[in-house]
Structure 1
Amino acid sequence: MDFDLDKMSLKELRDMRSKLDRAISSYEDRRRREAIQAAEEAARAHGFNLAELTGSAPRKPTTVAPKYAHPENPSLTWTGRGRKPRWVQENLDAGKSLEDLLI
């Protein structure tokens, strides 16, 4: 494959760059999967699985218990993580503190 980059338009160059980026990413992903598979096979050959050897078990999503509740509607709750719900901000603006909203 021979490309004369000087004769290519800007659009052609950008298209080539995006194709090249995808090819590189695909190559890296493929090599990573091959490396993980080889490591898993080596671990199995010694009677282990890869998670046992690396100490990294697959993480399970955890649920966080609510920490705050709306004073008039206890079904509205907030864990204290992420963006404050509107009802929390409204209570704070009204002069209440987060401690007032604790469950």
Structure 2
Amino acid sequence: MAVDIKNLNHNQLNDLIAKAQARQSELSKERLGKVREKIQAILKAEGVTIDEVFPSRGGAKSKRAGTTVAAKYRDPSNPENTWSGRGKRPRWFNDALKAGKKEKDLLI
């Protein structure tokens, strides 16, 4: 079905674009559904689950997730403020360095 877009006004053209995008979305969903069915059939035939094939896929947490690192630096003016030395430097650390302290002075 050929559509002569040169003869369409602005509203008709927007309508055509919206319908084409909706159809494209439908086709994409159908394709993904077929692929999902094929994958599930293969998994069932092999007797495995998707989590066994892709263990780090959100079903199981990685070994490093949620681990905390011991504090390496402590704020001399407020001992509750600590920093592991990873990531962005905290404000108190930068302020202490500007005040003349050295990194080794702030070590725990």
Residues 32-86 of structure 1 show CA distances to partners (whole Å, capped at 9, x for unaligned) of x874675355334423222322453633531322332212322112233332211
**Match 1:63 to one of 55, 67, 71:** 67
Q: Which moved more, 1:86-95 or 1:49-58?
A: 49-58
Q: Provide TM-score, normalisation by structure 2.
A: 0.50
Task: Give the fraction of aligned pairs with identical amino acids, expressed as a percent.
Answer: 30
- Partner residue, 2:47: 47
- Partner residue, 2:103: 98
Give the superposition deviation at 1:99. 3.0
- Partner residue, 1:74: 79
Give the superposition deviation at 1:102. 2.6
Give the superposition deviation at 1:91. 1.0
Q: Residue type matched to 1:64 in 2?
A: T
Distance in 2 (alpha carbons) for counterparts of 1:40 and 1:59: 23
Structure with larger Rg: 2
Structure 1 residues 49 and 94 mapped into 2: Cα distance closer, same or farther (>3 Å)? same
Number of residues of Structure 1 aligned to a counterpart in Structure 2:
91
Structure 1 residues 55 and 8 mapped into 2: Cα distance closer, same or farther (>3 Å)? same
Indicate if the aligned counterparts of 1:92 and 1:98 stay in contact, CA closer than 8 A: yes
Q: Residue type matched to 1:8 in 2?
A: H
Q: Provide TM-score, normalisation by structure 1.
A: 0.52
Gaps of 5+ in 1: none
Structure 1 residues 43 and 86 mapped into 2: Cα distance closer, same or farther (>3 Å)? same
Structure 1 residues 8 and 89 mapped into 2: Cα distance closer, same or farther (>3 Å)? same
Distance in 2 (alpha carbons) for counterparts of 1:68 and 1:34: 55
Gaps of 5+ in 2: none
CA-based RMSD of the aligned residues comes to 3.9
